[in-house]
Homo-oligomer: A and B are copies of this chain.
Amino acid sequence: MNPIEHIEELGRNARSASRVLARASTRAKNDALLAIAEAIRNAQDDLQTANATDLAEGRTNGLDAAFLDRLTLNDKAITAMVDGLAQVAALPDPIGEITDLRPQPSGIRVGRMRVPLGVIGIIYEARPNVTIDAAALCLKSGNATILRGGREAIHSNTALAQCISAGLIAAGLPAHGVQVVQTTDRTAVGALITSPQWVDVIVPRGGKSLIERITREARVPVIKHLDGICHVYVDKAADLDMAVQIAFNAKTQRYAPCNTMETLLVAREIAGAFLARIGPLYLEKGVELRGCEETRTILQKVGITAIAATEDDWRTEYLAPILSIRVVEDIDAAMDHIRTYGSSHTDSIVTNHHPRAMRFLREVDSASVMVNASTRFADGFEYGLGAEIGISTDRLHARGPVGSSGASCTASTSNGACFSWARAIARERARSADSVRS
Contacts and interface: CB of A to CB of B under 8 A. Distances in A.
A187 B5 CA distance: 39
A392 B415 CA distance: 14
Nearest to A418: B402
A420 B116 contact: yes
A127 to B, nearest CB: 19
Contacts of A39: none
A109 interface: yes
Contacts of A410: 112, 413-416
Choose among A110, A200, A404, A416 the residue with the greatest number of B CB atoms under 10 Å from its CB: A416
Given A110-B384, A373-B108, A433-B106, A417 B403 contact: yes
A152 interface: no
Contacts of A201: 395-396, 412, 418
A170 interface: no
Main secondary structure of the interface of A (DSSP, over half): loop
Interface residues of A, number: 88
Contacts of A427: 108-109
Copies held by the complex? 2
A416 B414 contact: yes
A116 B363 CA distance: 10
A257 to B, nearest CB: 16
Interface string A27-55: 00000000000000000000000000000
B411 A411 contact: yes
B382 A422 contact: no
Contacts of A382: 104, 106, 108, 110
A203 B418 CA distance: 9
A116 B422 CA distance: 9
Nearest to A143: B419
A62 interface: no
Given A108-B373, A433-B106, A398 B423 contact: no
B23 A423 contact: no
A363 B203 contact: no
Closest 4 CB pairs of A and B: A411-B413, A410-B416, A406-B416, A112-B422
